[in-house]
């Protein structure tokens, strides 16, 4: 009898703790805050423009664009929109460099492993065309792979891994630049609304 009571008490306390858990009660989209006030939704709308490709790599820009959109949704700081006209901010990117270099050779001078390198130029703009200052405008990424030794993978698999990591870095830089811009605007508004000092 006491055992059943203890089990029921355990499950009851577990359910209560779950209902008050931040996981269930978090704000949708996790809006960042300035001075404990959530940034307004209209200031968080983002349109991810198709990534341009100025390198010889075929579909690298398409994959990167997809991973960027997935990363924006996963992080939840921005509200992604499919309509450019509805977005307060627009993200532009261009693959400016892509290279594969063999870095280990076998006795017959064939590549055993290789290094992939990609560099992407990134720009965040407000709807009116004003550029937002980002910590970095050119973001590089690198990956090593081999289809013969160690953890074996193809160039396509290594490319996908590299681009996923690159998308994380790009969105991180974009969020930092955007948040700094929101802080700057907030400080400007505070100065404008500040009552004149009495002398």
pLDDT of 133 above 90 = yes
Does the global pTM surpass 0.75?
yes
* Model confidence at 199: pLDDT above 60: no
Tell whether 72 is covered by a domain. yes
DSSP code at position 53: E
Work out how many domains the chain is built from and give that number.
1
Q: CATH code at 64?
A: 3.30.160.150
> What's the confidence (pLDDT) of residue 57?
81
pLDDT band of 56, cuts 50, 70, 90? confident
**Helix spans in the chain (H):** 2-19, 22-25, 60-75, 155-193
Residue 45's DSSP bridge partners are 79
Interatomic CA distance for residues 129 and 133, integer angstroms: 13
79 belongs to a structural domain: yes
Confidence bin at 109 (pLDDT 50/70/90): low
**Is 26 part of a structural domain of the chain?**
no
Distances (CA, A) of 54 to 65, 157, 169, 172: 14, 21, 20, 23
Round the average pLDDT of the chain to a whole number and report it: 82
């Amino acid at each position: 009898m006491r055992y059943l009571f203890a089990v029921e008490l355990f499950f009851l306390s577990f359910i209560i703790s779950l209902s008050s858990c931040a996981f269930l009660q978090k704000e949708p989209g996790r809006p960042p805050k300035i001075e404990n006030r959530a940034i307004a939704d209209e200031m968080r709308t983002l349109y991810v423009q198709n990534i341009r490709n100025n390198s010889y790599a075929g579909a690298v820009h398409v994959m990167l664009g997809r991973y960027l959109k997935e990363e924006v949704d996963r992080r939840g700081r921005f509200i992604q929109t499919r309509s450019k006209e509805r977005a307060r901010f627009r993200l532009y990117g261009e693959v400016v460099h892509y290279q594969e270099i063999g870095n280990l050779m076998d006795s017959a001078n064939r590549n055993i492993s290789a290094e992939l390198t990609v560099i992407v130029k990134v720009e965040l703009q407000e709807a009116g065309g004003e550029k937002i200052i980002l910590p970095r405008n050119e973001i590089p990424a690198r990956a090593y792979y081999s289809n013969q030794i160690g953890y074996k993978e193809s160039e396509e698999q290594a490319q996908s891994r590299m681009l996923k990591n690159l998308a994380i870095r790009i969105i991180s830089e974009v969020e930092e630049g955007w948040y700094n811009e929101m802080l700057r605007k907030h400080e400007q508004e505070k100065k404008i609304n500040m009552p004149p000092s009495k002398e």
